[in-house]
Amino acid sequence: MKAIQAYRFALDLTPSQERDAYAHAGAARVAHNWALARVKAVMDQRAAERSYGVPDEQLTPLLSWSLAGLRRAWNAAKRDVAPWWTEVSKEAFNTGLDGLARGLTNWFNSRRSRRAGRPVGFPRFKSRRRTTPSVRFTTGAIRVESDRMHVVMPRLGRLKLHESARKLVRRVENGTARIMSATVRRDSGRWHVSFTVEVERADRTPARPGSVVGVDVGIKHLAVLSTGALIDNPRHLVAAQARLRVLGRALSRKSGPDRSAGRRPSKRWDRAASRLGRAHARVAHLRRDGLHKLASGLARTYATVVIEDLEVTGMLANRRLARHIADAGFAEIRRQLAYKMTWNGGLLLIADRWYPSSKTCSACGAVKTKLALSERVYTCESCDLVIDRDRNASLNLAALAAGIDTAGSGPVAARGADQKTRVRGQVALKREPGSASAGKTGTVLSQGRTTNRVFA
């Protein structure tokens, strides 16, 4: 099975190499801003001409928004706009133009209702101080040296890695991986290089074939499994809150930037901001590492994992729990499970957002009308079942997948179908050619609502 995945490594750049990396990132920003200004100028000119009654066929010709069109316009004007263009790689300008082309396409499709998700705004100009330096290389000499501690980038030369790239080198040497592109980016106070690699992954089977597990994510416990296992929530942000407050107060006492007065930040403010950024980056790295271990463990062990389609945006409206919900990373768990289940030959099912997993009794199927968030123990009034609220939800999620033939299709009835609150459930799966588990589509019906999903 072929998959596109990334390998990310930290870099140890010399001062000269760091200046070159900044120059390439700056060139990408210049090309982006120039092309965006041209696009806006043409759009404004056409709008003004329409206001004067000029026919459409006589309007100023549109500037192509495709990468090829923007590149042709840039190549025709780069000698006047950027006389220094020969000092950096052409990939630097291509990075800025490619980002703008994608942004314009997403904005246009969003306005025409051709793009799912939140509305996408019109692209903005990039600031030198507030933009994350980044440049992407797709052609030229891109390779990892045989010593596994150095990489070669076009025009940047031989760069030292902070850690060994042995995992990537082994795949390349074995012929099971092909480097497609490389991105050099500075974030969290350090330069990194990310390789986009086409990998030929061996077919895998979960450790427990045919097993089904329901996963209920939460704050008290990061995940509660239907097997009874409890995954503790490390709460990295809460643990680092004291130090973040100290660093934040120290930053507030420094002379920072003031755009209205044209004041630039002091050197001490820059150093304090860097310390605060590294502290936040450490929290993010710890969180990401824990979520990767959780998702990998589930994908390698169980054949079918059932999770809920949570509305995280609405949950963040609770100002008492917003920080803890954001720290848990509910959306990241689902994103990682989506591709890791595919890599390991498993199946990920997404329960409908309106399915009452917490309100439904896992023993008799009775559904409560209301269940306050403060009620952490579920007590059934019909069968007198007393069970932890999250464990009850995970059992209901696992029951949704009972009776599903992952090789074909089969209906499953959700619990509570004979209760006052009508809850009907049906999951229909179909296998698409060329994939063991990816591409299956499903429909989950609950409380009269129908939601079509694509299960990774």
Residue linked to tokens 């917490």: 358
Verify whether residue 216 is a known catalytic residue: yes
Q: What's the rounded Cα separation, in Å, for the pair 427 and 445? A: 8
428 phi, psi to nearest 5 deg: -115, 125
274 phi, psi to nearest 5 deg: -65, -40
Verify whether residue 308 is a known catalytic residue: yes
Burial pattern 351-377, b for ≥16 Cβ within 10 A else e, equals bbeebbbbbbbbeebbbbeeeeeeeee
Per-residue tokens: 185: 């980016």
- Strand pairing report for 134-137 and 449-455: unpaired
Q: For 5-33, what is the HEC assignment?
A: EEEEEEEECCHHHHHHHHHHHHHHHHHHH
Identify the active-site residue in 91, 308, 327, 352: 308
Identify the active-site residue in 91, 98, 216, 352: 216
Question: Taking the chain, what is the end-to-end CA distance rounded to the nearest angstrom?
Answer: 14
Verify whether residue 18 is a known catalytic residue: no
Nearest alpha-carbon partner for 166 in 154, 157, 174: 174
Calculate ∠ Cα 285-251-16, nearest 5°: 65
Residues with catalytic roles: 216, 308, 390
